[in-house]
Amino acid sequence: MADEGEALRNPSLLSSIKNLNGPNAPEFFRTLEETAPLGLWSKDQLIIITKLKLEGRARSFFEASLAGQVLNYDTLKEKFLNQFQKRDNFASCFTQFSTAVQLPSERVRDFASRIEGLAQNSFGDKTVEKGEMSKQLKDKMILSQFLAGLQPNLKAQMLIENPKDFAAAVELGDRIEMAQAMLTPNINVLDSRVENPHKVIEAVQTSGETVAKTLELVCKQLERLNDRMDRIEKKETRDNKNFNEGSNASSVRPPVRCFHCGRVGHVIRDCRQRMAEARDRNYGQRPWNRGNNFRNRFDGRNEQPNEGAIPKNE
């Protein structure tokens, strides 16, 4: 191996090592350590190569947190792996934990064991010991995800019972699962799951109590629904009644009265009395040369006495 301060041997091998950008830290250090024996590189030279290969997030992390510190190769490698590999593993494990659901053929206890394993990978005991997460919060998250991932036929009854901790939830889920298996016609399923006759009795009792509570809850919900429907129907009836009364009141028009003669049943433009009066006025205003003298010349009213004529004795 090369000593400190000695020129780097076989620098052409550097092209086979990709730059360190952060997320590829495990691959970078693995390739670097596999290439080091071929190039006869020392640990101090590996530190220099690592600094030369920094880019992106890895360079930002080094300049912000590690610049100015005297670190050997193993410490430098550990810090990069803890910064990037741990974060990526936590995100992946937590995604698997938060999306875990019970498979159709998976038993409750098997699903509970899988949930505990995923929680251990996501949080672990070191997280609780370091104070990053309390044990109560961790237990609540495990219980919540366990209840959320159960099959629908189990989840409904579990939510009604509302277990307080994870151990009680697993025990209750196992009894409910056993009781439901007894109701199925598949005898092989029942025989494979029933190991203790006392558990059978407990399962039957639990199933009966759960069904009774479920029916009671459904009845209460139906009563509330019926009350609400009655209130809605009463409100609609009252609104329709008010609307009809308002419509009838607005549809009844006041009687038509003539402003000329004062009689009811017609308007002034159709008033016969007004028409007759207008006819009489027009008749009295006609000129003499139009028809009055022609009609009245026979009764002597329009005859003018001649000059010198002797008036008639009346």
**What pLDDT is recorded for position 314?**
44
User: Is the distance from CB of 135 to CB of 158 less than 8 angstroms?
Assistant: no
* Rounded CA separation 35/17 (Å): 8
> Averaged in consecutive runs of 10 residues, what is the pLDDT profile of the chain (314 residues)?
65 88 87 89 90 90 86 90 69 82 89 88 65 77 91 86 89 87 56 52 57 70 82 81 61 76 84 86 62 50 51 50
- Residues facing 20 on adjacent strands: 54
DSSP 62: I
Buried b (16+ CB within 10 A) or exposed e, 121-142: ebbbeeeeeeeeeeeeebeebb
Q: What is the 3-state secondary structure (H, E, C) of 152-164?
A: HHHHHHHHHHCCC
DSSP code string of 41-54: --HHHHHHHHHHTB
Domain 90-183 bears CATH identifier 3.40.50.720 = no
Q: Where are the domains of the chain?
A: 11-84, 90-183, 199-230
φ/ψ of residue 258, rounded to 5: -80, 130
